[in-house]
Structure 1
Amino acid sequence: MSTKLSATYLIETPLDPRAVAEVMAGEQSCGTFTRVEGETDALRERARAIVESVETVGEVAMTSLPNAYLERKGIRGPWHRARVRIAFPTDNVGANLPTLAATLAGNLYDLGEVTGMRLERVSLPAAYRDQFDFPRYGIAGTRAATGVSTGALVGTILKPNVGMSAEDTAALVARLCAAGVDFIKDDEVCADPVHAPLAKRVPAVMAAVREHRERTGKQVMVAFNITDETDAMRRHADLVKREGGNCVMVSLNWCGFSAVQTLRRHTDLAIHAHRNGYGAMSRDPLLGIGFQAYQTLWRLAGVDHMHVHGLQGKFAQADEEVIESAHDCYRPLAEGNASGQADTVMPAFSSGQWAGTVPATWHAVGRDDLLFMAGGGILAHPDGPAAGVQSLRDAWQAVREGCSLEDAAKQSLPLASALRFFGR
């Protein structure tokens, strides 16, 4: 007997939401807008998606999205909003991530019956989840690789984003290692540029990382941006591995599920999953995909870290969305997976982060199993990067001990300087 996975959608329609839900179920399984030849009762019983629930959540006087289909038919509002939950037989999809995404988030966005469509949540049975990849590092492995057993991992982003040579980049990495960071990442726009190709940048950077490790015993994790076509990413990952690295970064949305799955199965390096472009899929509340569903699909590809942005940061998302996204990373995709493998990923906080955003992060998340990445918060600290790193560590120690940053700053010059400079 086939198991089922379920998906929850927020829809907007001038029609009966229950009828639209049935259209959605048929469109994304065995049917179309009408029953066709060969669509027997037995086939429908085996393969058709099932509407599990329809909950009306409101009504609006103006449509959210244009719809030529409804205009041709002269259908006007009011427009009903409803939350729809649909169960899909897993046998329709198999262990096929691109087809799973096409099933959950394919032609539904083009349906003529709706003026709003957002995939909010995905729920997987354990036996189905076990057919996909798991993280190789996740939270515990990332802590072990960096030697950070407690506290948030302090990270930074190489700036300038582009323009530095391989030698310039290595010199900056050496400086950041000496400053005491746990994690360094490339920017999403710097992958394999002419002025600092990975073939030169990886050896140069890893020489600096190895020198620091030999001198201090500390292995800094560097996420090299290897975003490219699939064969090139495999070559880049092999280079990072040969040079003693343990992490690569991928721009998920532009590489695609298949490429990331192939990379995961090719290498045992940690995959730092960058979601740049996700805003185009998520910022409209009646279109696209919510983070819980988004991260579910990408975690099936076996990534280890997921970007969630940052609290009180420079981007458009509300703090509540960032908080919920972080908690999504901490939840297993399915309870009771038979493999027993760890099934959580480390959330990566970034975007305008500095010591002053630490209390909000701690109080909202309630744990420090996270990458706390500050670009300007470290590199622009008035007393230098080492003071920037120390200001973050002192801020995290303060909030874990229930102390205010102002009180902690009395004993920490780096924190005091950060509060004066960034808190203006």
Structure 2
Amino acid sequence: MERILAEYYIETPYKVEDAAAVLAGEQSSGTFVSVPGETQALKQRFAARVEDIQVLDAVERPSIPGKALPNKAYARARVKVSWSIENFGYNLPVLVSTLQGNLYEISQFTGLKLMDLEVPNSFKEHYRGPRFGIKGSMASCKVSGRPMIGTIIKPSIGLSVGDTVSLVKKLIGAGIDFIKDDELMGSAANSFFDDRVKAIMKVIRDNEQRTGKKVMYAFNISDEIDAMQHKYDLVLKEKGSCAMVSINSVGLTGTKKICDRGELIVHGHRNGWGMLNRHPLLGIEFPAYQKLQRLAGVDQLHVNGIQNKFWESDDSVVASIKSCLQPFLGGDGIVPVVSSGQWGGQAFETYRRTRTTDLLYMAGGGILAHPMGPQAGVTALKAAWAGAVEGLSLEETAKRSPEFSASVKKFSNL
């Protein structure tokens, strides 16, 4: 029988083998005492199995509250546990309840994080995954050999529809590939969603008719399920190409409902990620997270950025980018969305460490606050990436691009 495998990073004052057995029991057929009907045959078929344990080190103090044992150190280990596919079939909510449910509340653990997961090939028959992914996204924007260059409408809230349209016109004139609503922008009092979509898409369609290039605009459709469907329909009717979903806010099934329609590219915004990941011994690590989102069907997924404005390390960002690019269940990768305090200066380290241009490279202030204007901001980003791919240094690139040189002066010390 096919099995699903999950890897955890744990911390416990108990014997690691005993703690792992508690995890396996709690998340399958077991409870804290034996109960009638819990036969050996039932356990053999449905109980989770501890497949591997690698003890790492120990610390003197617990990472999060849990049971304290006198004169005991807190051991840390990598533990792999598997479940029969019979336990949940092809049901993402039950799968997540198993892999990330009550186990976080088990008192034997003073740290627990889901690091990665593996699902059997039969999942391909039930989950088609991203409909567009990297190839479809790049083709939609007519981009090749470099990242898609994108930005976010700022201020996040407060611009009227007319103000937003004026900014979109400037960005399109600057040669942008991708624009998105901020995740805080839904249908505000002075910028109703329907009005904003109709006005922006008219500008995008007019530009496409003149130039042949269709700029991708990710409208934030995050809402209740029925309202999201209405918003999706409107974007489609107005000949848009992308819908943005705040995937942690609408949940896995809400995200999948939208992705299953398969007519628009789905831009997965992971706002709230820090709540799920920031503690090193609590939550979920990105390799596991992105696989769940790919099962739901997202085409693009935020990964933060090198030298970002948030807490995440460069090593973590690089690992996230690489995990998005890896094939999964026979499908191609999804677009890593690089964002958070980005300008052209980080392109060199990003390319050096990932060796890929299969990215959506997002800069808000890096474009909109460029001293020579948004058009120069877009030009500067393209020049930076061209220099990075050619093997030039930041200084060499600045010498041949006045727009990038101005970016260096403006942003390098921020």
Normalised TM-score (structure 1)? 0.95
Equivalent of residue 182 in structure 2, options 171, 182, 187: 187
Partner of 2:377: 388
Q: Which of the numbers 260, 265, 270 marks the counterpart of 1:270?
A: 265
Give the one of 330, 334, 337 matched to 1:345.
334
Q: How far has the Cα of 1:34 moved from its partner?
A: 2.8
Aligned to 2:395: 406
Other structure's SS at 2:348 match: helix
Q: Distance in 1 between matches of 2:80 and 2:145?
A: 39
Name the amino acid aligned to 1:103: T
User: What is the aligned counterpart of 1:121 among 107, 116, 119?
Assistant: 116
Matched, 1:240 2:261: no
Matching residue of 1:420: 409
What CA distance in whole angstroms lies between the structure 2 residues aligned with 1:402 and 1:343?
27
Partner of residue 286, structure 2: 291
Q: Give the equivalent residue in structure 1 for 2:195.
A: 200
1:14 equivalent in alignment to 2:13: yes
Asked if structure 1 preserves the Cα contact closer than 8 Å seen for 2:50 and 2:79, the reply is yes
Paired residue for 1:52? Answer: 51
Q: Name the structure 2 match of 1:36.
A: 35
CA distance in 2, matches of 1:329, 1:23: 32
Q: Could you list the runs of 5+ residues in structure 1 that have no partner in the other structure?
A: none
**1:140 Cα deviation after fit:** 0.2
Q: Indicate the RMSD between aligned Cα atoms, in angstroms.
A: 1.2
Query: % of aligned pairs identical?
Result: 44
Matched, 1:259 2:254: yes
Matched, 1:167 2:156: no
Distance 1:279 1:87 in 2: 27
> Aligned letter for 1:384?
G
Q: Which residue is equivalent to 2:209?
A: 214
CA deviation string 1:182-220 (max 9, x = no partner): 000111111121211111000011011111111211100
Confirm or deny: 8 A CA contact 2:131 2:262 kept in the other structure.
Answer: no
* 2:37 maps to amino acid: G
Displacement after TM superposition at 1:117 (Å): 0.9
Q: Give the letter aligned to residue 419 of structure 1.
A: V
CA contact (8 A) 1:14 1:76 kept: no
Q: Distance in 2 between matches of 1:139 and 1:76?
A: 53
Q: Which 4+ residue blocks in structure 1 deviate beyond 3 angstroms?
A: none
Tell me, yes or no, if the aligned pair for 1:134 and 1:343 is still in contact at 8 Å.
Answer: no
Shift of 1:130: 3.7
Letter paired with 1:180: G
Task: Name the aligned partner's letter for residue 172 of structure 2.
Answer: C
Match of 2:358 among 369, 373, 378: 369
Residue of 74, 79, 86 corresponding to 1:79: 74
Partner Cα distance (2:125, 2:312) in 1: 32
- Return the match for 2:98 from 98, 103, 119: 103
Residues 124 and 333 in structure 1, CA contact (< 8 A), matched pair in contact too? no
How far 1:88 sits from its partner (Å)? 1.0
Q: Distance in 2 between matches of 1:41 and 1:100?
A: 24
How much does 1:408 deviate?
2.1
Count of equivalent residues: 413
CA distance in 2, matches of 1:94, 1:254: 25
Q: What displacement does 1:124 show?
A: 1.5
TM-score relative to the length of structure 2: 0.97
Q: Name the CA distance, whole Å, in 2 between partners of 1:283 and 1:9.
A: 16
Greater mean alpha carbon deviation, residues 264-273 or residues 47-56: 264-273
Distance 1:281 1:32 in 2: 26
Q: Which residue of 2 aligns with 1:66?
A: 65
CA deviation after TM superposition for structure 1 residue 248, in Å: 0.6
Contact 1:123–1:333 under 8 Å retained in 2: no
Deviation by residue 1:85-121 (Cα, 9 ceiling, x = unmatched):
0011112111111111111000000001111111111
Given the alignment, which residue of 145, 149, 159 partners 2:140? 145
Aligned to 2:24: 25
CA distance in 2, matches of 1:246, 1:298: 20
Are the aligned partners of 1:90 and 1:128 in contact in 2 as well (CA < 8 Å)? Answer: no
